[in-house]
Amino acid sequence: MTTTSATTPREALRSPMTWLVVAVIGVGAYLFVPFFVSALQLNPVAGILSVAIWGGYALLLWWILARMQRFGRRSWVTTAIAFAWGALGVTGLATKASPGFSDVLTSTFTFGQDSEWASALTAGVVEETLKWAGVLAIAFLPGLRIRSTLDGLYYGLFVGLGFEAAESALYSVSSAAYADSVVWAVIATFVLRGVISGLWSHPTYSAITGAGVGYFVSSPASLARRIGILLGALGLAIASHILFDAPVLEGNAIVATVVKGVPVLVLLLIILRVSRKTRAAQIEAETESATGGPSV
C-alpha cells in the first residue's frame, strides 16, 4: 500500500494547503531557531551535545518506527513534513501562544503558588492543539496521504517525535546553564525526557490525536460520529498531557512518570490494535471487491 496517490508538482503547488504548511513550518522556524541559537551561544558544548543526543534519538526512533510499519510503506516526504511540523511549526508557534495562553489563564483564574497547574494547562492545550493541526494539515495535503486511522496515528507519532526532539534539545541546553557538569546535565535531561518518559510523552499524545484525524478522514461513518472521534481524541491527548505535567504524585520522578504515563501508553496500544484490525478488514474488503471473491 502507498498512502500517496499520483499528484503532480503542479497540483501540489496549486493547493492552498501546501503553501499553508510551508508557511507554518517557516514561521515556526523563524520564531524557534533564535531561541536555540542564543542558548547555543551561551553554552556551545551543551548545545552541540544536545543536538547530537536528541538528533540521534530522533533518527533512531524514526528508523524503528519506519521498520515497524504494516500494510506497506508510507511516504518519507510526508513523514518528514510531519516531523518538521512538530520540530519547527509547533515549537515556534508555541513561543507566541504559550505565554499568551498562560497570561490569559493567570489573569482570569487564581493559581498563586499552584502556578505549575497554569503551566500544565498551557502546555496541554497549546501544544496538543498545534500538533493536532499538523496531522489535520497532512490529511488535507493533495495526494491522499492519510487513508486509514493507522496512517493518522503514524504521522501523529512523527509530529510528536519532532516536537519532543526540538523541545528537549532546548531544555537540555537550559538545564546545563546552571549545572556544575554540562555533560551530566544534558545526559540527565535525556534520561528523564527521552528514556524514562519517552514512551508516553509527546509522540504518544499526538499519535492519539493523529488516530482521531485518521478516523475522521477515512471512515465512512456519519459526520457527527467522525467529528466526535476527532475532537474526543484531541481532548484525550490534552487531558493526558495535562495530567503528566500536573503537580500531582510528585516526589519520585520515575514513579510519577510511570504512574501517569503507563495508562496513556496502554490506551495508545489499544487504539493501535483496533486500528490495525480495522485496516486489515478494510484491505480484505477492498481485495474482495477487486477480485469478486474472498481474498486468500
Total of chain residues touching another protein, rule CB under 8 A: 75
233 binds another protein (CB under 8 A): no
Q: DSSP letters along the chain, please?
A: --S-----HHHHHH-HHHHHHHHHHHHHHHHHHHHHHHHHHH-HHHHHHHHHHHHHHHHHHHHHHHHT--SSPPPHHHHHHHHHIIIIIIHHHHHHHHHHHHHHHHHHS--GGGHHHHHHHHIIIIIHHHHHHHHHHHHHSTTT---SHHHHHHHHHHHHHHHHHHHHHHHHHHHHTT-S-HHHHHHHHHIIIIIISGGGSHHHHHHHHHHHHHHHHH--S-HHHHHHHHHHHHHHHHHHHHHHHSSSS-S-HHHHHHHHHHHHHHHHHHHHHHHHHHHHHHHHHHHHHHHTS---
139 binds another protein (CB under 8 A): yes
> Which region among 46-54, 107-115, 204-212, 261-269 touches another protein (by CB under 8 A)?
107-115
Q: Which is nearer to another protein, 192 or 239 (CB)?
A: 192
CA 74 and chain centroid, separation: 17
Q: Which is nearer to another protein, 62 or 141 (CB)?
A: 141
27 binds another protein (CB under 8 A): yes
Q: Which of 163, 171, 200, 205 binds another protein (CB under 8 A)?
A: 171
CA atoms of 282 and 115, how far apart (whole Å): 47
Q: Which is nearer to another protein, 122 or 240 (CB)?
A: 122
193 binds another protein (CB under 8 A): yes
Q: Which is nearer to another protein, 62 or 119 (CB)?
A: 119
291 binds another protein (CB under 8 A): no
Site for another protein in 29-88 (CB under 8 A): 35
Give min distance, CB of 201 to another protein, in A.
11
14 binds another protein (CB under 8 A): yes
Q: Which is nearer to another protein, 136 or 157 (CB)?
A: 136
178 binds another protein (CB under 8 A): yes
Q: Which of 111, 235, 243, 283 binds another protein (CB under 8 A)?
A: 111
Give min distance, CB of 59 to another protein, in A.
22
115 binds another protein (CB under 8 A): yes
Q: Which is nearer to another protein, 181 or 295 (CB)?
A: 181
Q: Which of 126, 150, 229, 246 binds another protein (CB under 8 A)?
A: 126
191 binds another protein (CB under 8 A): yes
Distance set, CA 51 to CA 118, 146, 163, 243 (Å): 29, 31, 13, 28
248 binds another protein (CB under 8 A): no
Give min distance, CB of 40 to another protein, in A.
13
229 binds another protein (CB under 8 A): no
CA atoms of 207 and 153, how far apart (whole Å): 5
Residue with grid cell 477515512, as numbered in its chain = 218
